[in-house]
Chains A and B, each alone.
Chain A
Amino acid sequence: MNVINIRNISKTYVMGVEEVHALHDVTVQIDRGEYVAIMGPSGSGKSTLMNMLGCLDTPTSGLYEFNGANVSEMNDNDLARIRNKEIGFVFQTFNLIPRSDALHNVELPLIYGGVNAHERKRLAAEALNHVNLGDRMHHRPNELSGGQRQRVAIARALVTKPSIILADEPTGNLDTKTGDEIMTLFEELHHQGNTIILVTHEEYIAEHAHRIIRLRDGVIEKDENVQKRVIPTVA
C-alpha cells in the first residue's frame, strides 16, 4: 500500500512578475518500507518536494494523499498532528533546540503528542540508546559532535514511530566518515522496516537507497530502482 501518493503536484512561487516553478507536474508513489533517495542539482526542487511530503508546505496544485488521506483538504491542526505522529524529520543543519539537552530534544515530539512525562522519558531514552547515545542524554547540542547531533535528530525523528522518515541532506554538514556512520544507521532503520526518503547530492550516499528519483528544474527526470551493491562498511 502507498504511504505517499502524489499526483500532478506543482509548486509555483511568484517573485514580482516572474514565476518560479519549483515543482512542475510531479507524480510519485512511495510504498511502505521503501528506501528512496531524491537527487538533483541545486535548485531542482528537492527540498520543496520534501517539505511537501512532510506536510510543512502545501502544493499550488495537484493531489497529495498520505496513508490514503487527502492532505490538501486538511487544516492546520490536522497537519500538525500528521507531522507529529506520522513523519520524522532529519535536517541538514540538525535543527536541535540549543538550550535543551539531548533527552529533552528527543522528548519534544512526544510532548506535542500528549504522551505523559514518565512514558516520554522512557521512550526518549530508548530512542537515544537506539542511536548509541545512551551515555550522552544530558549533553546539550553544543556539547556534541556533528555526527552525534545528527544521531540525536534521528532519535527525535524515530521516537514517535512515524510512518516515514524524511531526511533532507542528512550528511551534508558531516565529514565523509561521520556521514557513512549516519548512512549505516539509516540502513539499519530500513532493515527494521522503516520507510526512508532522503535527499542527497552525493552518488555514493544515494547508492544506499533502493530507488533513486532524479529531479531537474522541478520535473522528475528519472525514477529508477537500483540493484543493491555490496558496499564496504566502515569497520
Chain B
Amino acid sequence: MAIIAIRVNKLRSSLTLLGIGVGVFSIIGVMTAMGVLQNAIENGLSGLGTNTFQIQKFPVTFFHDGRSRSRNRKDITLEQGEMFIERMNEAKYIGLESWFGIKQIFHNNDKTNPNISLVGETVQGFPTNNWTIKQGRAFTNQEVDNAASVCVLGNGVVEKLFERGSPIGEIVKIDGNKFRVIGTVEPKGGFLGGNQDNYLAIPLTTAMSLYGKQRSINIMVQTRDQESYNDIIELSTAILRTIRHVPPGAEDDFAIFSNDTLIKQFNDLTFMVKIGTLGIACIALLAAGVGIMNIMLVSVTERTKEIGIRKALGATKINVLMQFLSESVVFSQIGGVIGIIAGSILGNVVALITSAPPILPWNSSVAILSTPFVSLSALGLNIVAIIFCSFIGIVFGVYPAWKAANLDPIESLRYE
C-alpha cells in the first residue's frame, strides 16, 4: 500500500527518499568507517607489547599540531637512554630504538622496493616491540656493545628476498654496508594500509656509527604487570625529567604514549567526527521529514475521493489515520534501508582500502558508536536508524494522516 504515496509524485518522492537516504547513509557510512578504523587500531596496534609504553621526543597525534609547540625540544640521546636504564630498576624490559629512514635492501641480484624501514634496536627492544623470533635469533648484548654488522629481518623483507631458502647467514646490503642475517621476526600483518612487517633491524650502536649520533631515540618500557603500569609511567617521567634537567613546574619535554593513549586519542578524534555527522544527518532527516509531510499532504489531496469511498464503506477515523501513517512510516523506512545499504558499502570500502577487517551491517560484536550513555554495534545502529526513520515517518506523517481521517465523507465523495 505504501507505494501509492510514492507513485503520486515520483520526483518529490525520489528527492525525499534521497534525503532520508543521505541522512542515514552519512550516519551509517561514517560510523562504520570509523568503527572499521577503530577496530583495526584496537586489533592491529600491536606496535607495542602489552603493558608497554614508549617515551619519545614528540607526541604522536593524528593531526600534526603537536609539533609546533614542541618543535624546540632537545633530542633524547643514547646517553640519556642508557642513564634511564641504569636508574629504572622496576621495569621488566627497557628497549631503546631509533628509526633511520626508508631503505632499499639488496641481496645478491635481488632487491626490495625502497619501502623498508631501517631501525636500530637494543636487545630488549625485541620484547618491547612485541617481536617474536621466527627463525634464528635476536641480537646479543655483545653484538649491540660491539656494533656488530648483523641484522634481523621483518617478514616483509623475508617474503621479498628469501621466498625460497633460509635467510639465516645470508649477507644483505643497505646503502653499501653489509649485514649478516641472524634472525627473522613473525609477521604482524597490515595495518591502515601500511605494512608493519617492512622493516630491518640492526643494533642501535651499529646504526648510530653508520648514520650519526645526532638523533633522538625512543625508550620503550615494559612493566612486569598491569598493576604497576601507571606507577612506572610516573616514575619514568620523574627519572627522565631529572636526566633532562626539566625545571619543576615546567612541562615535560618528551612525550609518553601507549596503545591505550593512541586508541584514546583516535577515539576522541572520531567522536567529534561522529557527533558532527550525527548533527548533519539529523538536519538531513528533518529536511526529509518535511518532504514526507509534503508528499503525504499531496497524496491525501489526490486521494480525497478514495478516502470518501473508504469512509462510505465503513472505515473509521482510526482506520484512515493508520493507513496514511503506515504509508509514511514504510516510506521513510525504505529511505532508511537505502541509506543503510549505501552507508555499509561506504564504510566497508574504507575497510577494503585500509585492509582492515570489515564490519558488516549485521555485526553485533564491535561497538561502532560509543557514547558515555550507550554503545552500539553495526546491527544495533542499523536497528536504531530504522526505528528513528519510523519515528520521522510518524512525526511528519501524523498531520497529513490526521487531515485525511477528518475529511468529511460526503465532500470527499464529491471531490473530483
Using a CB–CB cutoff of 8 Å, the interface residues on chain A facing chain B are 51, 54, 56-57, 76-77, 80-81, 83-85, 89, 91, 95-97, 99, 108-109, 112-113, 156, 160
Residues of B with C-beta under 8 A to A113: 314
Q: Contact flags (1/0) for B122-153 with A, using CB distance below 8 Å?
A: 00000000000000000000000000000000
Residues of A with C-beta under 8 A to B308: 95
Is B306 a contact partner of A97 (Cβ separation < 8 A)? yes
Q: List 19 A-B contacts (CB under 8 A).
A: A54-B312, A56-B311, A56-B409, A56-B410, A76-B317, A77-B316, A80-B314, A80-B316, A80-B319, A81-B316, A83-B312, A89-B312, A89-B313, A97-B309, A99-B4, A109-B313, A109-B314, A112-B310, A112-B319
Q: In the bound complex, what is the Cα–Cα distance between A149 and B58 (angstroms)?
A: 84
Q: In the bound complex, what is the Cα–Cα distance between A95 and B316 (angstroms)?
A: 18
B315 located at the interface, meaning its Cβ lies under 8 Å from any Cβ of chain A in the complex = yes
When C-beta atoms are compared, the residue in chain B nearest to A86 turns out to be: B314
Q: In the bound complex, what is the Cα–Cα distance between A95 and B313 (angstroms)?
A: 11
Is B312 a contact partner of A56 (Cβ separation < 8 A)? yes
Q: In the bound complex, what is the Cα–Cα distance between A91 and B413 (angstroms)?
A: 10
B103 located at the interface, meaning its Cβ lies under 8 Å from any Cβ of chain A in the complex = no
CB distance from B305 to the nearest CB of A (A): 7
Q: In the bound complex, what is the Cα–Cα distance between A156 and B313 (angstroms)?
A: 9
When C-beta atoms are compared, the residue in chain B nearest to A157 turns out to be: B313
Residues of A with C-beta under 8 A to B316: 76-77, 80-81, 112
Q: A77-B316, A80-B319, A83-B313 are in contact. List 20 more A-B contacts (CB 8 A).
A: A56-B409, A56-B410, A56-B413, A76-B316, A76-B317, A80-B315, A81-B314, A84-B314, A89-B313, A91-B413, A95-B309, A95-B413, A96-B309, A97-B306, A97-B309, A108-B313, A112-B315, A112-B316, A112-B319, A156-B313
Q: In the bound complex, what is the Cα–Cα distance between A54 and B314 (angstroms)?
A: 11
Is B305 a contact partner of A95 (Cβ separation < 8 A)? yes
Q: In the bound complex, what is the Cα–Cα distance between A112 and B318 (angstroms)?
A: 11
Residues of B with C-beta under 8 A to A81: 314, 316
Residues of B with C-beta under 8 A to A91: 413
Is B410 a contact partner of A83 (Cβ separation < 8 A)? no
Quick one: given A51-B410, A99-B4, are A83 and B311 in contact (CB under 8 Å)? yes
Most A-side CB within 10 Å, residue of B311, B312, B314, B319? B314
Residues of B with C-beta under 8 A to A108: 310, 313
CB distance from B397 to the nearest CB of A (A): 20
Most B-side CB within 10 Å, residue of A80, A91, A112, A160? A80
Most A-side CB within 10 Å, residue of B308, B310, B312? B312
When C-beta atoms are compared, the residue in chain A nearest to B3 turns out to be: A99
8 Å CB contact of A85 from B311, B314, B409: B314
Is A112 a contact partner of B313 (Cβ separation < 8 A)? yes
CB distance from A115 to the nearest CB of B (A): 11
Q: In the bound complex, what is the Cα–Cα distance between A96 and B316 (angstroms)?
A: 18
Is B4 a contact partner of A84 (Cβ separation < 8 A)? no
Q: In the bound complex, what is the Cα–Cα distance between A156 and B309 (angstroms)?
A: 11
Residues of A with C-beta under 8 A to B319: 80, 112
Q: In the bound complex, what is the Cα–Cα distance between A109 and B316 (angstroms)?
A: 11
Residues of B with C-beta under 8 A to A96: 309
Majority SS of interface residues in chain B? helix
- Contact residues of B between 287 and 323, Cβ < 8 Å to A: 305-306, 308-317, 319
Residues of A with C-beta under 8 A to B306: 97
CB distance from B285 to the nearest CB of A (A): 30
CB distance from B109 to the nearest CB of A (A): 77
CB distance from B70 to the nearest CB of A (A): 70
- Contact residues of B between 333 and 375, Cβ < 8 Å to A: none
CB distance from B321 to the nearest CB of A (A): 12
- Contact residues of B between 205 and 249, Cβ < 8 Å to A: none
Q: In the bound complex, what is the Cα–Cα distance between A108 and B306 (angstroms)?
A: 12
Most A-side CB within 10 Å, residue of B306, B309, B311, B410? B309
Residues of B with C-beta under 8 A to A80: 311, 314-317, 319
Q: In the bound complex, what is the Cα–Cα distance between A77 and B313 (angstroms)?
A: 13
Q: In the bound complex, what is the Cα–Cα distance between A89 and B409 (angstroms)?
A: 13
Residues of B with C-beta under 8 A to A57: 409-410
Is A83 a contact partner of B314 (Cβ separation < 8 A)? yes
Q: In the bound complex, what is the Cα–Cα distance between A91 and B412 (angstroms)?
A: 14
Q: In the bound complex, what is the Cα–Cα distance between A123 and B4 (angstroms)?
A: 26
Q: In the bound complex, what is the Cα–Cα distance between A160 and B4 (angstroms)?
A: 27
CB distance from B317 to the nearest CB of A (A): 6
Residues of A with C-beta under 8 A to B315: 80, 84, 112
CB distance from B347 to the nearest CB of A (A): 39
When C-beta atoms are compared, the residue in chain B nearest to A81 turns out to be: B314
Residues of B with C-beta under 8 A to A54: 312
Closest 10 CB pairs of A and B: A84-B314, A112-B314, A80-B316, A109-B313, A83-B314, A56-B409, A95-B309, A112-B315, A89-B312, A108-B313
Residues of A with C-beta under 8 A to B313: 83-84, 89, 108-109, 112, 156
When C-beta atoms are compared, the residue in chain B nearest to A153 turns out to be: B309
Q: In the bound complex, what is the Cα–Cα distance between A225 and B178 (angstroms)?
A: 125
Q: Contact flags (1/0) for B149-186 with A, using CB distance below 8 Å?
A: 00000000000000000000000000000000000000
Q: In the bound complex, what is the Cα–Cα distance between A99 and B317 (angstroms)?
A: 22
Q: In the bound complex, what is the Cα–Cα distance between A112 and B311 (angstroms)?
A: 10
Residues of A with C-beta under 8 A to B305: 95
Residues of A with C-beta under 8 A to B311: 56, 80, 83
